[in-house]
Copies of this chain bind each other. A is one copy, B any other.
């Protein structure tokens, strides 16, 4: 029987590496990308390229307007995306946190999974080189897994048990990139920047760019993206 998985793909470095890992493990991949009103919607384009590159069985971009709720610099025009933060020494949860984002994303992935009889969901969350978002931590993933196994028809009827796979959760950004390069990931297709300039060119100053650049630098490899 085919192993079938739903993967949450943002088009960024982490989710793309996660997809490559799932691909290597021979899952048939069904990608879900969420258009939630993020200012950096260039990543939607990147997600399409990655899905094509990794030969996803299906890929859907799903709209859910979290921007209408506001409350995050990633979606609200009146909150500026922080730049040039000292990411290694500041550990508060920054304004880029989007309320309940991964809860919403995993819920949508679960809805997709149940309709296609997939019991495996991949998400590229990371709790090491990250921005302190609560919904990237193992505690969250574990509680979500408990919940989804009482929430769904196929789980309560013991047709299958849902698992959330988080292969990156305990890795540093450098380790993630190293793993991705070993798997042949083309990071030039990905987009991490929260505040890209024309044609998706990364800003190099937001937390996402800084974490990414530090990751490449730590393993002595040049990021293929053009930051100039």
Contacts and interface: CB of A to CB of B under 8 A. Distances in A.
Nearest to A66: B111
A148 interface: yes
A103 B64 contact: no
Contacts of A102: 151
B63 A63 contact: yes
Size category, A interface: 35 or more
Given A134-B155, A155-B134, A100 B93 contact: no
A113 B209 CA distance: 30
B68 A60 contact: yes
A69 B134 contact: no
Interface string A129-143: 000011101011001
Contacts of A107: 100, 103-104, 106-107
Contact of A148 (B62, B101, B103, B152): B103
A146 B146 contact: yes
B104 A69 contact: no
A70 B139 contact: no
Contact of A115 (B64, B71, B115, B133): B71
A32 to B, nearest CB: 10
Contact of A111 (B69, B143, B157): B69
Interface in A22-63: 60, 62-63
A171 interface: no
B147 A143 contact: yes
B62 A65 contact: yes
17 contacts: A60-B68, A63-B63, A63-B64, A63-B65, A69-B112, A99-B110, A99-B114, A99-B115, A99-B152, A100-B151, A103-B107, A103-B147, A104-B111, A140-B150, A143-B146, A143-B150, A146-B147
